Structure 1
Amino acid sequence: MELSKINRVFFIGVGGIGMSALARYFAKRGQDVCGYDKTKTRLTETLAQEGIQITYADEVSELPEAFLHPQEDTLVVYTPAIPKDAQLLNHFRNHGFVLKKRSEVLGIISKGMFCIGIAGTHGKTTTSSIVAHILKDTGYDCTAFLGGIASNYNSNVLFGKNNVVVVEADEYDRSFLTLHPDIAVVTSMDADHLDIYGDKSHLEESFRLYAGQLKAEGKLYVHEGLPLENSITYAASSTADAKAINLRVEGAKFVFDYVDPNHQLTDVSLMLPGKHNVENTTVAIAIALQLGIDTEKVKLAVANFKGVKRRFEYIVNNESQIYIDDYAHHPEELRACFDAVRQLYPTKKLTVIFQPHLFTRTRDFADDFARVLSTADELLLLDVYPARELPLEGINAQFLMDKITLGNKRIVEKDAVIEYIAQEKPELILTVGAGDIDTLIEPIKNTLNHA
Structure 2
Amino acid sequence: MKIKDLKKVYMVGIKGAGMTAVAEILKARGIEISGSDTTEVFYTDAILKKVGIVFFETFQACHLEADVDAVIFSTAYSTENNLELKASQEKNLPLISYPELLGMLFEEKLGIAVCGTHGKTTTSAILAQALLVAGADPSAVVGSKVLDWNSSALSGQGQYFVAESDEYQNKLRFYDPWSVILTSVDWDHPDFFPDFDSYKKVFKDFVVKIPKTGFLTVWGDSRNCLEIADVANCNVLTYGFGEENDYKIINHQTHLEGQNFEVIFKEKNLGIFQTTLSGKHNVLNCTAVIALCNAMQLDLEKVRTGLKVFQGTERRFQQIGMFDLSILIDDYAHHPDEIKATLSGARARYGNKKIWTVFHPHTFTRTKTFLQDFAQSFDDADAVIVIDIYGSAREQQGGVSSLELVKLINKYHHDKAEYIEDIEKAVEYLRERAGNFDVLITMGAGDVWKVARKLLNC
TM-score bin (small chain): over 0.9
**Is 2:428 the counterpart of 1:416?**
no
Does residue 5 of structure 1 match 2:1?
no
Q: Does 1:149 align with 2:145?
A: yes
1:15 equivalent to 2:15? Answer yes
CA contact (8 A) 2:215 2:292 kept: no
For 1:263 and 1:316, the matched residues in 2 are separated by: 41
- The whole-number CA distance in structure 2 between the counterparts of 1:263 and 1:126 is 27
Q: Is the 8 A contact 1:143 1:165 kept in 2?
A: yes
> What number of residue pairs does the alignment pair up?
441
Task: Measure the CA separation in 1 of the matches of 2:429 and 2:294.
Answer: 49
Moved more, 381-390 or 210-219: 381-390
Between stretches 90-99 and 117-126, larger displacement belongs to: 90-99
Q: Where do residues 37-436 of structure 1 align in structure 2 (5 Å cutoff)? A: 37-46=37-46, 47-61=48-62, 63=63, 67-69=64-66, 71=67, 74-82=69-77, 84-224=80-220, 225=222, 226=225, 227=227, 228-229=229-230, 230=232, 231-261=236-266, 264-316=269-321, 320-373=325-378, 375-405=380-410, 406=413, 407-412=415-420, 413-425=422-434, 426-436=437-447
In structure 1, C-alpha distance between the alignment counterparts of 2:161 and 2:142, rounded to whole Å: 11
Dislocated runs of 4+, deviation >6 Å:
none
Deviation, structure 1 residue 263: 5.1
Inter-CA distance 149–171: structure 2 relative to 1 (3 Å threshold)? same
After TM superposition, give the deviation of residue 319 of structure 1 in Å. Answer: 10
Could you tell me how far 1:318 is from its partner in structure 2? 9.4
Unaligned runs of 5+ in 2: none
Q: Which is further off, 374-383 or 269-278?
A: 374-383
Write the deviation string for residues 3-58 of structure 1: whole angstroms up to 9, x where unpaired: 11101111111111111101111122221111111233143432134321211222
Q: Which has the larger displacement, 387-396 or 130-139?
A: 387-396
Cα distance in 2 between the residues matched to 1:275 and 1:202: 28
Q: Deviations over 1:58-93 (max 9, x none)?
A: 2213x0xxx343x5x611111221253221121112
CA–CA distance in 2 between the matches of 1:359 and 1:310? 22
What TM-score results when the alignment is normalised by the length of structure 2? 0.92
Q: Distance in 2 between matches of 1:356 and 1:156?
A: 25
* 1:310 partner amino acid: R
Q: Is the 8 A contact 1:79 1:102 kept in 2?
A: yes
| Matched letter for residue 342 of structure 2 | C
Quick one: which amino acid aligns to residue 156 of structure 2? G
Q: Which residue of 1 aligns with 2:32?
A: 32
Q: Provide the identity percentage.
A: 30
Task: Give the aligned partner of residue 438 of structure 1.
Answer: 449
Deviations 1:380-407 (A, max 9, x none): 1111111333443332212322321231
| Superposition TM-score, scaled by structure 1 size | 0.93
Structure 1: runs of 5+ lacking an equivalent = none
- SS of residue in 2 equivalent to 1:404: helix
2: CA distance, partners of 1:80 / 1:199:
22
What residue identity is the alignment partner of 1:346?
A: G
Deviation of 1:373 (Å): 3.1
Quote the offset at 1:279 in angstroms.
0.4
Q: Is the 8 A contact 1:238 1:245 kept in 2?
A: no
Output the aligned Cα RMSD. 1.8
Q: Give the letter aligned to residue 73 of structure 2.
A: Y
Amino acid at match of 1:416: K
User: In structure 2, what residue type is equivalent to 1:428?
Assistant: V
Distance in 2 (alpha carbons) for counterparts of 1:297 and 1:45 = 33
Aligned residue for 1:76, secondary structure, equals: strand
What is the SS of the residue equivalent to 2:39? coil
Alpha-carbon distance in 1 for matches of 2:59, 2:83:
6
- One-letter amino acid of the structure 2 residue matched with residue 429 of structure 1: L
SS in 1 for 2:148: coil
Q: Aligned partners of 2:322, 2:424: CA distance in 1, in Å?
A: 23
